[in-house]
Amino acid sequence: MTDRIRLFFRKDKEPYLCFYRILGFYPRNIELYKQALLHKSSSVKEKGRLLNNERLEFLGDAILDAIVADIVYKHFDGKREGFLTNTRSKIVQRETLNRVAVEIGLDKLIKYTTRQSSHNSYMCGNAFEALIGAIYLDRGYRACKKFMEERIINRYLNLEKVSRKEVNFKSRLIEWGQKYKFEINFELLDESLDKEQNPIFETQITVENIPAGRGKGYSKKESQQEASHKTLAMIKNNPRFIETIYTAKAEREQQASEKAEQTIPQQKEEAAIPTESAEEKTFAYEETESLQTKKTDSDTERIIAEAEEAAFLTEEKILKDNSEKK
């Protein structure tokens, strides 16, 4: 009621009414909400620094994780940690937040340059996180939770359906790798048993041989899904990791290029060596055969001559022996 009364005396009522339709309450510090909708491509300078929604997005991401974990924990009483983690992940993933942001009309309020919208498919989801950050700074945690429960989950998300929805993080990661030509490998690190003798698998993912996400699960698939989810989070939120894998990729491609350059001259040199024609090969074969035939004839003649000489010597020796006996 106090906020409504204050609004009555304001000249710029439209922005407050616009946010009221989305939030269900009037903003106290409307500048926070305006900043939440300011994409970095439309940053403004204030007190010597650029102002956009990235800092609020960072804060809202953490607050949203806590709120959704709180809601999911209380809604699914008795469910295991793995189930709760997966359900929370499905709610806070970029696709879900993007869709919700469009549903509540946030996409029409974001300020950005046209060229940025063509490839930034998660701009609306990022703005939604920034909005959560603005609510937290303006009204606190309880207001954030109430907004999520009453204005978002109850209207746009069915927790039971969401919990049963299969989100294939591994496929998304592989598709990303294929699109941007990164080498991605899944390595099974360990197989063990928990206290109840259930098998536990641990998977490590490497991108360009750089260690990325690591996950555990009660099946190889589950461990790969968790590792893929963590890797996707690193790709989105860790600039140092992104820089490292791009450097490794560039080095691999450079080595492949140098190897190809070394192979091409060798292939050209081999191609330059003249090859024998069919006639030349036939002539060579016939010449070889002729030489072999001549060699065979020569050998035969030599053997016959040696045999005749041996026979002559033997006969001469016999005559000599007979003559000596007489």
Is 194 noted as a catalytic residue in this protein? no
How many residues belong to the chain?
326
| Catalytic residue, candidates 3, 57, 61, 315 | 61
CA distance 312 to 318: 10
**Is 245 exposed, middle or buried (CB count within 10 Å of its CB: 0-12, 13-18, 19+)?**
buried
Is 190 noted as a catalytic residue in this protein? no
User: For residue 69, what are the contacts with CB-CB under 8 A and spacing of at least 6?
Assistant: 84, 88
| Catalytic residue, candidates 57, 103, 107, 129 | 129
The answer to whether 157 touches 100, Cβ cutoff 8 Å, is yes
The pair phi, psi for residue 158, each rounded to 5°, is -100, 110
Q: What amino acid positions are annotated as catalytic residues?
A: 61, 129
